[in-house]
């Protein structure tokens, strides 16, 4: 039994052990590279919205927390954000559109900064008027596709990892786990397979999801 995860193996010691004990194999490798980009934080903002854990890390490696309100697209990003500052808003579900609508209501007429990747889809900011949106690229994402042996389970951690995967691979069978609507949509563009939304990509949570029946 083989399981692929588009993230480095050091993030999943528990999953690796469980799969090994079951006589399987974990193939864990990121399909992207990222690098920081110098940026200047605008002064006329009241909120900062993060759409990924990676964005939080890159942002606060350059800018200290200020007296602003900080928002996260979902629980994993909120968990990382809480390491640096108070979280004033967090999306709760997997549907990005629902989160975007809730956030738009939350901020009212405030101006919001969206720091992110050079290939960010910008889903949330599309729900705000242009005058409320400030965007800044804080890191670049490069695709690093690799060939992967056929697996029974595939875990994709982001839309960019999906795009990179399909540069060198095809999917005609297996179960695909995704953390949200954007990643699901990217898989659906490239393959017709069973796709399951997962609430978290944390090591213990992924173990519970996979061993709740997928590998039994």
3-state secondary structure of 118: coil
Share of the chain above pLDDT 90, in %: 78
* Residues 79-92, mean pLDDT to the nearest whole number: 95
pLDDT at 20: 95
pLDDT in tens, 150-195: 999 999 999 999 999 999 999 999 999 998 778 899 999 999 999 9
Mean pLDDT of all residues belonging to the chain? 93
pLDDT at 41: 92
CATH top-level class of 34-141? alpha beta
pLDDT band for position 97 (50/70/90)?
confident
Pairing label, strands 175-178, 69-72: unpaired
Q: From the options 2.70.70.10, 3.40.50.10090, 3.30.1490.20, 3.40.50.300, give the CATH code of 2-31+145-214.
A: 3.40.50.10090
CA–CA separation, 58 and 138 (whole Å): 7
SS3 call for 88: strand
Mean pLDDT, range 48-56, rounded to an integer: 95
Output the DSSP codes for 130-143. Answer: GGGEEEEEEEEEEE
137 to 19, 133, 140, 141, 165: CA distances (angstroms): 38, 13, 8, 10, 24
| Percent of the residues in the chain that have a pLDDT greater than 70, as a whole number | 98
Contact assessment for residue 143 and residue 163, using Cβ atoms and an 8 Å cutoff: yes
pTM: predicted TM-score of the whole model, two decimal places: 0.83
- CATH 3.40.50.10090 residue ranges for the chain: 2-31+145-214, 34-141
């Amino acid at each position: 039994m083989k399981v692929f995860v588009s993230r480095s193996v050091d993030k999943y010691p528990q999953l690796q052990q469980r799969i090994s004990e079951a006589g399987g194999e974990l193939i864990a490798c990121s399909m992207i590279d990222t690098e920081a980009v110098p940026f200047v934080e605008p002064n006329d903002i009241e909120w900062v919205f993060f759409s990924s854990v990676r964005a939080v890390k890159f942002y606060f490696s350059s800018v200290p927390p200020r007296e602003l309100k900080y928002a996260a697209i979902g629980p994993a990003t909120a968990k990382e954000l809480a390491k640096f500052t108070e979280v004033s808003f967090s999306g709760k579900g997997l549907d990005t559109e629902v989160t975007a609508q809730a956030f738009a209501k939350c901020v009212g007429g405030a101006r919001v900064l969206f720091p992110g990747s050079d290939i960010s889809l910008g889903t949330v900011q599309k729900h705000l008027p242009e005058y409320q949106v400030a965007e800044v690229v804080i890191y670049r994402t490069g695709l690093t596709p690799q060939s992967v042996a056929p697996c029974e389970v595939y875990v994709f951690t982001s839309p960019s990892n999906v795009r990179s995967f399909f540069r060198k691979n095809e999917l005609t069978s297996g179960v695909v786990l995704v953390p949200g609507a954007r990643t699901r949509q990217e898989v659906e563009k490239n393959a017709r397979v069973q796709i399951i939304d997962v609430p978290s990509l944390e090591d213990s949570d992924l173990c519970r999801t996979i061993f709740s029946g997928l590998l039994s």
